[in-house]
C-alpha cells in the first residue's frame, strides 16, 4: 500500500484506504510492540513513505475492518466491493477479509466475466 506507487492508481480513494489500513496495522502492532520484525517493517515504511511517516505520528487505531472499497481494475474498470473482516478463532492474530460485489453495481457481472 505504501511502497508500490501503482496502488495510488488502483484504489480510487487511496488516501482513505491507506489511512484505514495503517490504523488497522497500528491496532495489530499495539499487541506486538516488542516484535523485531514489526519494528523493522515500521522503520522501513517510515523511511520509504512520507505518507506512512506522517500518518503514523497521528496514532489512529482501528480494529477489525468493515466497509467498502472501489478499485480501478486495469481490465474491468471500476469495481465496487463491500468487505467484512473476520477474526479467526484459532489464530486470533489473523483476520480473514471477505470481499463481495456491492449490490446495485455492475461489479458482480464484471467479476463473473472473468470466470
User: Contact, 83 vs 68, CB < 8 A?
Assistant: yes
Q: How many residues are recorded in the chain?
A: 115
Q: Which residues contact residue 64 at a Cβ distance below 8 angstroms, ignoring those fewer than 6 apart?
A: 24, 85, 86, 87, 95
| Closest of 29, 4, 1 to residue 17, by C-alpha | 1
87-110: per-residue pLDDT in tens?
A: 888 887 788 899 999 999 999 999
Range 98-110 burial, b when 16+ CB lie within 10 A, else e: eeebbeeeebeeb
Work out whether the CA dihedral 111, 68, 95, 7 comes out positive or negative: positive
55-77: per-residue pLDDT in tens?
A: 999 999 988 878 899 999 989 99
* DSSP label at residue 54: H
23-59: per-residue pLDDT in tens?
A: 999 988 888 899 999 999 999 999 999 999 999 999 9
Amino acid at each position: 500500500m505504501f511502497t508500490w506507487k501503482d496502488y495510488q492508481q488502483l484504489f480510487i480513494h487511496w488516501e482513505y484506504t491507506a489511512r484505514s489500513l495503517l490504523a488497522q496495522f497500528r491496532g495489530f502492532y499495539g499487541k506486538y510492540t516488542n516484535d523485531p520484525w514489526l519494528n523493522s517493517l515500521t522503520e522501513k515504511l517510515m523511511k520509504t513513505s512520507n505518507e506512512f511517516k506522517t500518518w503514523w505520528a497521528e496514532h489512529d487505531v482501528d480494529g477489525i475492518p468493515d466497509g467498502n472499497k472501489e478499485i480501478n481494475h486495469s481490465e474491468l474498470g471500476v469495481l465496487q466491493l463491500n468487505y467484512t473482516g473476520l477474526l479467526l478463532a484459532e489464530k486470533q492474530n489473523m483476520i480473514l477479509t471477505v470481499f463481495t460485489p456491492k449490490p446495485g453495481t455492475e461489479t458482480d457481472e464484471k467479476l463473473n466475466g472473468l470466470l
